[in-house]
Amino acid sequence: MASILTNASAMTALQTLNSTNKNLATTQDRIATGQRVAQASDNAAYWSIATGMRTQNSALSAVKDGLGLGASIVDTAYTALNDAIKIAQDIQAKYVARETPGTDTAVIDADIAQSKAQIDEMAKGATFQGVNLLATGATAQNVVTGYTAGTGVTTMAVSAYVLEGTLTAATTSVAVGTAIDAMKAAAASLGSAKTRINTQQSFTGNLMDAIDRGVGQLVDADMNAESARLSALQVQQQLGIQALSIANSSNQSILSLFRG
């Protein structure tokens, strides 16, 4: 039934158009942000879970930085100690040569003194961010090894080895050999710490990637689906505008009869 007071067709067309416009705005927002859950009102449960996961990743990012710092401290000491071992082995060989009759002991002693001084300089120079595990007075350092939700950051004590001055009193190949054994043991300990930290760095990075993927599954928009939906809604919008125009035109035709 046609009515001059109520245009039911126009009201239906307007409601449909408003619904289409709302869906279109939502789709456009998803395409613009790349997210289907950008705020709590989009999906409170998914938003809450994603927010918690992002918080965890922020903590892991700080842990990763701490692991990098610890790795650099250990690697600096490990590298210096390995190089020092090579020099110490050379010193040991020179002491063996010194014990050979007919050698110029003064020249060898001067050479050995230079090598010992070089090791001491390496020990003092093996510093990263103010931390030195080899110089006089060096002490064990706690470095970050990981993070456990609910527990917090975990740390590991890396033993120091006072390399500086180690060979000062060594005047025979046997004494130098004993020092080399101690240096190798220290290097092995640092190497183990280095391996553990590197492994934890890799694990933390992989865990952060997994969490990012999990967040994406919860909140990211399917851009292919949203693009297709955008095209469909744009067509629906155009048809809705035409439908509303037709409904209004029909009512105008009825009114024109009365004007005539």
pLDDT tens for 43-101 read: 999 999 999 999 989 989 999 999 999 999 999 999 999 999 999 999 999 999 988 88
- How many angstroms separate the CA atoms of 255 and 24, rounded? 34
Average pLDDT over residues 231-237: 83
pLDDT tens for 16-29 read: 878 888 887 778 87
Residue with tokens 């002491």, as numbered in its chain: 95
Please provide the CATH number assigned to the domain covering 47-219.
Answer: 1.20.1330.10
- All structural domains of the chain with their residue ranges: 8-34+222-258, 47-219
pLDDT value at 256 more than 60: no
Q: Pairing state of beta strands 127-128 and 131-132?
A: antiparallel
Residues in CB range of 157: below 8 A, 6 or more apart? 140, 141, 142
pLDDT category at 1 given cuts 50, 70, 90 is: very low
